[in-house]
Structure 1
Amino acid sequence: MNLISQLTSSFQQEFKTKPVLICSPGRVNLIGEHTDYNEGFVLPAAIDKAIYLAVSPRTDNELHFIAHDLNETYQGSLTNLKPTHTWADYLLGVISEFQLAGHKLGGLNCVFGGTIPMGSGLSSSAALENGIGFALNELFNIGLERVAMVKLSQRAENEFVGAKVGIMDMFASMMGKADHVIKLDCRSLDYTYAPLRMDGISIVLCDSRVKHSLVTSEYNTRRAECEAGVRFLKTYYPEIKSLRDVTMPMLDKHLRDTEPLIYRRCAYVVQENQRLLDGVAALEADDIAAFGQLMYGSHEGLSHWYEVSCPELDILVEIARQQPGVLGARMMGGGFGGCTINLVREEALDDFTNLITKQYKARTGKDTYLHVCKIQDGTNLIS
């Protein structure tokens, strides 16, 4: 029995009614890391690893949730929404934000489960938030556009859950389009789709099995370093608002010799934005090999200029780079652990899997788990 059938069966057994079924995918980011909070560009896509939700409205104000994979339950009320510091907060936060925005809701039944590997950095929390928001919009005929739901998901995680995340994860999960990546302007939220023709090429994630132990503290430090660079440059260029407005000649003239650490951080962001724009041009020209080389450049910048990689991620990229049939590889996400993302020709996939598994184990003593992904549409109604 597949997961959707299991969720449907569990739902009908518990609530004695037929559910509405929703798929809300995880995401990858092809290029453009740590650019979002600097008002830059990102290039994510929704993938075929997802959260699935079975939902129905209730005739009262109660909320009944079942986390199928965890075999855990939550019961509460619309009239008393408080953080629980558990998985339930990702659903409660979205419900709270819908109510704060003035939308009238009723009680809700929900059973959910997923195929997103835990701790892989594929944004299972954003998928769950989008899924429940999409469900509320459907069940209670609220009529919100997708971008409005994305903003409510982000606010739920920022305010109710308490994680000050950017908008990329929710945006990619909700707005994804099969066979395309999203070029998202994190300043304006303007977006366009760029084709990602993956005939004969697989997206492969290699899990370093290293937990992101430093990511929160170092994330805050990197953000502060970027802001310090902008403040310094503003004395010369009052019109700049963020690193989005900064050029390499500005950095070379005013920061390279006086503030070498701040220079490296800012230079990475400026160069990464340009790599992304060059990458979109490569995709539009159907030049996936050129795009892959830009991914390698992104990893070099993340590792040596922004310094958010770790030895294990560097080793995974180094091994990938030596394998025939690998077009590009880089670390993905906040850093200090998690996954690398690799573009691998399908005829080379078996050799790549065998070699990277053996060599990574030999060099680190750790196993790596591989996940092959396809790009799919964003959050959607199954039935």
Structure 2
Amino acid sequence: MTPQDQALYDTVSASFTACFGHAPEFVARAPGRVNLIGEHTDYNDGFVLPCAIGPATMVAVSKRDDDIVDVVAADFGGARDRFNLQTPLERNSRQPWADYVRGMISALQNEGYALSGAQIAIAGNLPKGAGLSSSASLEVALGKAMLALAGTDIDNTRLAQIAQMAECDFVGTKCGIMDQLISAQGKEGHALLIDCRSLELTDAPVPDDVAIMIVHSGVTRGLVDGHYNERRRQCEAAAAAVGVSALRDADLDMLAAAGLDATTTKRARHVITENQRTLDAADALARSDLAALGELMVQSHASMRDDFEITVPPIDELVVLLQEAIGFNGGARMTGGGFGGACVAIMAATQVAEVRSAIEAAYITPDGKTPLIMIERPGPGVAII
């Protein structure tokens, strides 16, 4: 166990014991993720290139002898939620974090899994609002833990699909499969090229001499405020007008012939070009061609900014600063759903100290602080620890 994981394990175990008076039966860990390239392509049946990272969510559980689920959230001052498995679950308007718990348990029940009442403690060390999938890691870890209590094991891809249902149908963010799938299926030392239609996973090794830097812009993002779902509706409208089931099947000639309005055309153009960039990026990574990969990341960010219109000025500023510091041997782009969050940069490991210093000297978050900078290597997916 890494020191980071040990500290989180100690936190969630202590929270559980303080609340329930005994040690948990199981602790599940599921990682956050950073997407190297391929934004808003997953719900268009396209391609993405994420990797699991070190920060994670841990869920400690023990079985109760009734149908009550009693939850404590260590990261929210020991906030509590309590509900009955035999009662139809509704959203908790007072505690939004609880919706992810309720949603995952509801999704498991809807898929026919028999769950017992449980005592649950949750803790995570993913920065909130950074676009690194803290919600997906919570859903996947909770699902793994609750199924372990029930003595049931399922394929991790199936677990990810159920977690996606929880977020789409209960929480209300009409997300694609990427976040949950990489949290469930992450692989040490590898990004994964995910075909979001077939769910085929192709290993994309990240060489040891390549560094992944994540910089939080300090602009906290949230996706249930309408922007994310609006982009999805625009993509679905474009696919219908072009005459395909999803934009993954469209090309730029088909788009030009469809006669769509300017906004819908831009949205579709981003997805079509981003899919090709993602395939090209996986190839560049396999060849350790950081120059080609960097150029694709630059193009990706420009497309998110100009065609999909999901960046914000501090993010654009940060990407420019990162690109200037890195030079031509790597690249930077916004990562995640947009409207704030983090940027991801790829560079030679030997550049990390220089790039970090440049960003700390030149970028201040909107609230006047030095930005959070994380250096990551691809890590494993969900597990009982």
Q: Same-fold call, TM > 0.5?
A: yes
CA contact (8 A) 2:43 2:175 kept: no
Question: Could you list the per-position Cα deviations for residues 14-42 of structure 1 after superposition, in whole angstroms to 9, with x for gaps in the alignment?
Answer: 23244322111111111100112222111
Q: Distance in 2 between matches of 1:189 and 1:143?
A: 19
2:383 to 366, 380, 383: 380
1:209 corresponds to 2:215: no
Q: Give the match for residue 85 of structure 2.
A: 78
The 3-state SS of whatever aligns with 2:99 is helix
Q: CA deviation at 1:154?
A: 1.4
Letter in 2 for 1:267: R
Q: Distance in 1 between matches of 2:196 and 2:163?
A: 16
Larger displacement relative to structure 2 (13-22 or 337-346): 13-22
The 3-state SS of whatever aligns with 2:103 is helix
Q: Distance in 1 between matches of 2:11 and 2:258?
A: 60
Q: Give the match for residue 12 of structure 2.
A: 7
CA contact (8 A) 1:45 1:182 kept: yes
Q: Distance in 1 between matches of 2:325 and 2:365?
A: 16
The 1:319/1:108 distance shift into structure 2, 3 A limit, reads same
CA contact (8 A) 1:215 1:336 kept: no
The 3-state SS of whatever aligns with 1:66 is strand
CA contact (8 A) 2:129 2:222 kept: no
Q: Give the match for residue 167 of structure 1.
A: 177
Larger displacement relative to structure 2 (24-33 or 180-189): 180-189
Question: Could you list the per-position Cα deviations for residues 34-60 of structure 1 after superposition, in whole angstroms to 9, with x for gaps in the alignment?
Answer: 112222111111110101122121222
1:131 to 125, 136, 141: 141
Structure with bigger gyration radius: 1
Q: Give the match for residue 276 of structure 1.
A: 278
Q: CA deviation at 1:183?
A: 1.6
Q: Where do 1:298-377 residues align within 5 Å?
A: 298-324=300-326, 327-361=330-364, 367-377=370-380
Q: Distance in 2 between matches of 1:76 and 1:113?
A: 19
In the superposition, the TM-score normalised over structure 2's length comes to: 0.89
The 1:252/1:157 distance shift into structure 2, 3 A limit, reads closer
Letter in 1 for 2:91: P
Question: Could you list the per-position Cα deviations for residues 324-362 of structure 1 after superposition, in whole angstroms to 9, with x for gaps in the alignment?
Answer: 466110011122211111113333222222221222239
Question: Could you list the per-position Cα deviations for residues 60-83 of structure 1 after superposition, in whole angstroms to 9, with x for gaps in the alignment?
Answer: 222121111222122332222332
Q: Where do 1:1-383 residues align within 5 Å?
A: 2-13=7-18, 14-70=20-76, 71-80=78-87, 81-85=89-93, 86=95, 87-197=97-207, 199-212=208-221, 216-234=225-243, 240-255=244-259, 259-324=261-326, 327-361=330-364, 367-382=370-385
Letter in 2 for 1:349: V
Structure 1 spans left out of the alignment, 5+ residues: 235-239
Q: Give the match for residue 237 of structure 1.
A: none
Larger displacement relative to structure 2 (241-250 or 113-122): 241-250
User: Share of identical aligned residues, percent?
Assistant: 37
Question: Could you list the per-position Cα deviations for residues 156-204 of structure 1 after superposition, in whole angstroms to 9, with x for gaps in the alignment?
Answer: 222222322222111111111111112222223232222222x233211
Question: Could you list the per-position Cα deviations for residues 72-130 of structure 1 after superposition, in whole angstroms to 9, with x for gaps in the alignment?
Answer: 12233222233223222212222222222222221111112111011111111111111
The 3-state SS of whatever aligns with 1:323 is helix
CA contact (8 A) 2:131 2:221 kept: no
The 1:303/1:287 distance shift into structure 2, 3 A limit, reads same
The 1:20/1:159 distance shift into structure 2, 3 A limit, reads same
Q: CA deviation at 1:220?
A: 3.7
Letter in 2 for 1:98: L
Letter in 2 for 1:226: C
Question: Could you list the per-position Cα deviations for residues 205-264 of structure 1 after superposition, in whole angstroms to 9, with x for gaps in the alignment?
Answer: 111122337984333443343334333333xxxxx3222111223334554xx7444333
Q: Distance in 2 between matches of 1:58 and 1:369?
A: 40
CA contact (8 A) 1:8 1:19 kept: no
Q: Distance in 1 between matches of 2:73 and 2:37?
A: 32
The 3-state SS of whatever aligns with 1:60 is coil
Q: Distance in 1 between matches of 2:150 and 2:92?
A: 25
Q: CA deviation at 1:367?
A: 4.1
Q: CA deviation at 1:363?
A: 10
The 1:365/1:108 distance shift into structure 2, 3 A limit, reads closer
Pairwise CA RMSD: 2.4
